[in-house]
């Protein structure tokens, strides 16, 4: 009989909301890949860090959960959001490599894809042979904290180089798309982690990761509006300079016309 706390096929409402928001966040890179395909983005601004970490986070946590599961345990539906994230993340990275490097250097593209497959396979094998259902499994705990790093870094602007944006004071509006859904996702998972911790779970790593993730998304909003204001001020300066230049040009033209008009009667009088 289902527990009174169960929500649909999920353990509780927190798991359901976490599943939905994570799936939505996993779909965010589609917008970035679409713009990349149509050369909408400046190549200097883009980065694969956020997408790679989205893939790494989902990949690690899915296989940790898979190999920690006891034979008689039911499959947790929540794991499928990580399975989807791992699959989509892999596809996103391949597409990123294709659109950014393939046309320029096919050999480099093959090398990068080979590295991705090799690293993924190596991590999979390590998890498979070291993680088990033992509650005190050291390898599982280690990978949980490695996953925290990816969990934090996946909250960087999806597809964009935040260092480049800050250095050049650029307000990239497309970063807000990921930041909006990202902060909702992080708040939802923070609530899930706190609830699980209160219920006796060991989710300190998830609480830490989600708090830092929320701070990263807030920072993205701050950076955008700060640099947008800066760009508006600079734009007004440019408009003012153009206005002054136009006034100077108009005055110069007006003075030339006035000079010509004032000289014309003298010529007429001299002629007469």
- Is the pLDDT confidence value at 254 over 90? no
Q: Could you give the percent of the chain with pLDDT greater than 70?
A: 84
Domain encompassing residue 137: 13-233
Q: Residue 106: inside a domain, yes or no? A: yes
Across 14-32, average pLDDT: 96
Average pLDDT over residues 21-41: 93
Checking if the pLDDT of 24 tops 90, the result is yes
Sign of the torsion angle spanned by Cα atoms 257, 259, 265, 266: negative
Per the domain annotation, does 257 fall within a domain? no
Give the pLDDT of residue 257: 53
Does 238 reside within a domain?
A: no
In a domain, 69, yes or no: yes
Per-residue pLDDT averaged across 19-47, rounded? 92
Mean pLDDT over each residue of the chain, to the nearest integer? 86
How far is Cα 194 from Cα 71, in angstroms, rounded to an integer? 28
**pLDDT tens-place string over residues 93-110:** 999 999 999 888 899 999
What would the pLDDT profile of 181-206 be if each residue is shown by its tens digit? 999 999 999 999 999 999 888 899 89
pLDDT of residue 149: 95
Amino acid 136: pLDDT: 83
- Angle at Cα 125 formed by Cα 119 and Cα 127, nearest 5°? 100
Q: What value does the mean pLDDT take over residues 132-143?
A: 89
pLDDT digits (tens, 9 = 90+) for 204-251: 989 999 999 999 999 999 999 999 887 777 655 444 434 545 555 555
Q: How many residues does the chain have?
A: 272
pLDDT computed for residue 247 by the predictor: 58
Q: What is d(CA 239, CA 188) in angstroms, rounded to the nearest whole number?
A: 44
Instruction: With respect to residue 172, please indicate whether it lies within any of the assigned structural domains.
Output: yes
Residue 47 pLDDT level (bands cut at 50, 70, 90): very high
The span from the CA of 81 to the CA of 233, in Å, is 43
Q: Would residue 186 count as lying in a domain?
A: yes
Domains in the chain, number: 1
Sign of CA dihedral 63, 67, 71, 76: negative
Q: Which of these, 253, 64, 43, 20, lies nearest to 159 by C-alpha position? A: 43
Please state, in angstroms and rounded to a whole number, the distance separating the CA atoms of residues 88 and 158.
Answer: 13
Domain assignment present for 200: yes
- The mean-pLDDT minimum among 152-166, 170-184, 223-237 falls in 223-237
On whether residue 110 sits in a domain, the answer given is yes
- Mean per-residue pLDDT, 51-75: 92
- Provide the pLDDT confidence category of residue 268 given band limits of 50, 70 and 90: very low
Tell me the C-alpha to C-alpha distance, in Å, between residue 120 and each of 25, 55, 58, 125, 126.
22, 10, 12, 9, 10
């Amino acid at each position: 009989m289902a527990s009174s706390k169960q929500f649909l096929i999920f353990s509780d409402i927190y798991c359901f909301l976490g599943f939905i928001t994570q799936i939505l966040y996993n779909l965010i890179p589609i917008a970035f890949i679409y713009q990349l395909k149509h050369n909408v983005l400046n190549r200097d601004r883009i980065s694969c860090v956020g997408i790679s970490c989205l893939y790494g986070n989902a990949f690690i946590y899915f296989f940790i959960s898979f190999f920690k599961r006891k034979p008689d345990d039911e499959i947790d539906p929540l794991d499928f959001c990580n399975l989807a994230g791992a699959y989509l993340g892999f596809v996103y990275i391949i597409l990123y490599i294709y659109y950014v490097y393939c046309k320029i250097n096919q050999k480099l593209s093959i090398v990068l894809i080979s590295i991705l497959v090799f690293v993924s396979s190596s991590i999979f094998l390590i998890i498979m042979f070291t993680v088990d259902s033992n509650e005190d499994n050291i390898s599982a705990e280690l990978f949980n904290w490695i996953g925290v790093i990816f969990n934090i870094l996946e909250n960087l602007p999806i597809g964009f180089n935040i260092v480049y944006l800050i250095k050049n004071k650029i307000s990239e509006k497309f970063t807000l798309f990921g930041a909006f859904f990202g902060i909702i996702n992080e708040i939802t998972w923070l609530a899930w982690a706190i609830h699980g911790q209160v219920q006796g779970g060991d989710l300190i790593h998830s609480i830490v990761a989600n708090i830092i993730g929320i701070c990263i998304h807030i920072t993205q909003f701050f950076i955008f509006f700060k640099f947008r204001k800066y760009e508006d001020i600079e734009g007004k300066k440019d408009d003012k300079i153009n206005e002054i230049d136009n006034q100077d040009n108009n005055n110069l033209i007006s003075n030339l016309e006035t000079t010509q008009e004032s000289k014309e009667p003298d010529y007429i009088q001299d002629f007469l």
